[in-house]
């Protein structure tokens, strides 16, 4: 969420940041909305002050036995009271218009972020590891289906497209990957493990910017009784706005990533500087509607509606967030290093960054079956953009006034995509898959997954 005062102080810098994202300048429109809001606030304040002043004058007139003057003043008070609801509504409408406009604008990229329109403008930072030389590399779904342990057909009968049923060794391998990741981040990287809710209110989704702009990308759940009340209200012809309010009051969002819950752990709090940084990690199912992804990665596990992800979140002071971003990236990369999977790290350009991010690194793992590097983690620093939406603050040592914290989030890693990478990079000519050595303790000593007779 942007601060309108900062936009007023430097509209040119704000507009340039939007241009770098491929957007039109908006400072003039936002300042006009703020002027309208200020005017509405002033009009209401002036009416309130006049009413209060008149009330005193009425008392003074009555004390002097000047009934005519008292009646005249009382009539003016009545006119002001009659106008108050309209003035209050004008103030609410002006506040809402500015709030909604600001809520729909993405974060401003840092100055060092490369300017570009899309993924073609991303800049490679480094590569780690050498891809294996595989004569006839197969894709993960070919490997999994040949093993008889990856079943998309049955999943489609159960749930539709973009779901999978994993069995036997592959189910255990996915579980092993998640346990390995969470253990690594807790024991070696110093994160605090959290087991958060998977269902959240709109306020939490707003805090981490899934709302309002990305509402259609989310899955929503409703208690059965509430759903029928909403359906009945719509069928009875209730106003659209009333039905929409019922929907938002009743629904829960299924988290698209534990970023939502972990970041919102500090919402509406004032932390002490000594408590920072806070580092949280969680291994959870995640859910995404994948709106707008029709035709992309339709086969396999790359783009699923339901997947497991190990999330990393940091809460820091403004002065330390840049260093924390580098640290988080190193933690995510360390997972791939220990799995001995080749990868490259990219600095995303302004046109490919997420809505809340002010700078993002993407880690892309090598998939020999596709002959390409594919994203497996994004690590972003969001400055105080999410903190303003959550009202998450800290009090610097020796100061009275609190400041907004900085928030960071990253994948450490997406478990399903890591499973894909292990299958493709550790595949053998006989159709079996070798288990990376670091995972073998989590697999009960199993070193290979083979098709069972």
Count CB-CB contacts under 10 A for residue 410. 25
CA 170/CA 174 separation, integer angstroms: 6
**Residues placed in the known binding site:** 257-259, 288-290, 311, 375-378, 411
Q: Which of 123, 131, 152, 133 is nearest to 297 (CA)?
A: 152
Q: Which of 392, 104, 109 is nearest to 262 (CA)?
A: 392
Q: Which of 302, 260, 259, 304 is nearest to 411 (CA)?
A: 259
Find the catalytic residue in 175, 303, 395, 403. 303
Is 288 an annotated catalytic residue?
yes
Q: Note whether 310 and 182 are within 8 A (CB).
A: yes
Is 303 an annotated catalytic residue?
yes
Find the catalytic residue in 72, 267, 375, 403. 375
**Residues placed in the known binding site for ATP:** 288-290, 375-378
Find the catalytic residue in 378, 380, 383, 432. 378
Query: How far does Cα 349 stand from its chain's mean position?
Result: 19
Is 142 an annotated catalytic residue?
no
Q: Note whether 267 and 207 are within 8 A (CB).
A: yes
Q: Residue 140 half-sphere exposure, CB side, CA atoms within 13 Å?
A: 25
- The contacts of residue 9 (CB under 8 Å, 6+ apart) are none
Q: What Rg do the C-alpha atoms of the chain give, in angstroms?
A: 28
**Residues placed in the known binding site for L-serine:** 257-259, 311, 411
Find the catalytic residue in 37, 279, 288, 389. 288
Catalytic residue numbers?
288, 303, 375, 378, 417
């Amino acid at each position: 969420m942007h601060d309108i005062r900062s936009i007023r102080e430097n509209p040119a810098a704000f507009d340039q940041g939007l241009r770098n994202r491929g957007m039109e300048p908006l400072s003039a429109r936002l300042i006009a909305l703020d002027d309208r809001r200020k005017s509405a606030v002033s009009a209401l304040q002036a009416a309130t002050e006049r009413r209060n002043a008149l009330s005193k004058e009425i008392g003074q007139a009555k004390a002097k036995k000047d009934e005519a003057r008292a009646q005249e003043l009382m009539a003016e008070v009545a006119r002001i009271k009659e106008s108050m609801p309209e003035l209050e509504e004008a103030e609410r409408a002006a506040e809402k218009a500015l709030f909604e406009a600001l809520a729909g604008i993405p974060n401003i990229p840092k100055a060092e972020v490369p300017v570009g329109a899309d993924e073609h403008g991303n800049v490679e930072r480094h590569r780690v590891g050498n891809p294996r030389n595989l004569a006839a590399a197969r894709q993960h779904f070919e490997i999994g289906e040949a093993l008889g342990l990856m079943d998309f057909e049955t999943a489609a009968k159960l749930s539709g497209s973009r779901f999978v049923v994993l069995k036997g060794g592959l189910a255990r391998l996915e579980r092993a990957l998640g346990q390995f990741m969470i253990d690594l981040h807790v024991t070696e990287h110093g994160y605090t493990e959290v087991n958060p809710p998977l269902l959240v209110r709109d306020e939490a989704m707003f805090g981490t910017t899934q709302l309002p702009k990305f509402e259609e990308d989310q899955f929503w759940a409703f208690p059965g009784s509430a759903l029928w009340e909403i359906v009945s209200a719509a069928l009875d012809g209730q106003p659209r706005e009333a039905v929409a309010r019922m929907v938002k009051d009743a629904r829960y969002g299924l988290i698209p990533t534990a970023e939502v819950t972990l970041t919102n752990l500090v919402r509406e709090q004032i932390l002490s500087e000594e408590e920072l940084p806070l580092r949280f990690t969680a291994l959870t199912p995640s859910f995404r509607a994948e709106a707008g992804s029709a035709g992309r990665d339709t086969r396999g596990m790359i783009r699923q509606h339901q997947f497991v992800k190990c999330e990393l979140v940091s809460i820091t002071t403004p002065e330390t967030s840049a260093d924390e971003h580098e640290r988080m990236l190193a933690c995510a990369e360390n997972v791939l290093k220990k799995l001995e999977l080749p990868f490259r790290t990219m600095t995303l350009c302004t046109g490919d960054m997420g809505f809340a991010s002010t700078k993002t690194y993407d880690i892309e793992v090598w998939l020999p079956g596709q002959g390409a590097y594919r994203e497996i983690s994004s690590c972003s620093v969001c400055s105080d953009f999410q903190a303003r939406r959550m009202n998450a603050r800290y009090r610097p040592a020796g100061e009275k006034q609190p400041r907004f914290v900085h928030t960071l989030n990253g994948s450490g890693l997406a478990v399903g995509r890591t499973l894909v990478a292990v299958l493709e990079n550790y595949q053998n000519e006989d159709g079996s898959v070798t288990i990376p050595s670091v995972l073998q303790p989590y697999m009960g000593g199993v070193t290979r997954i083979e098709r069972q007779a």
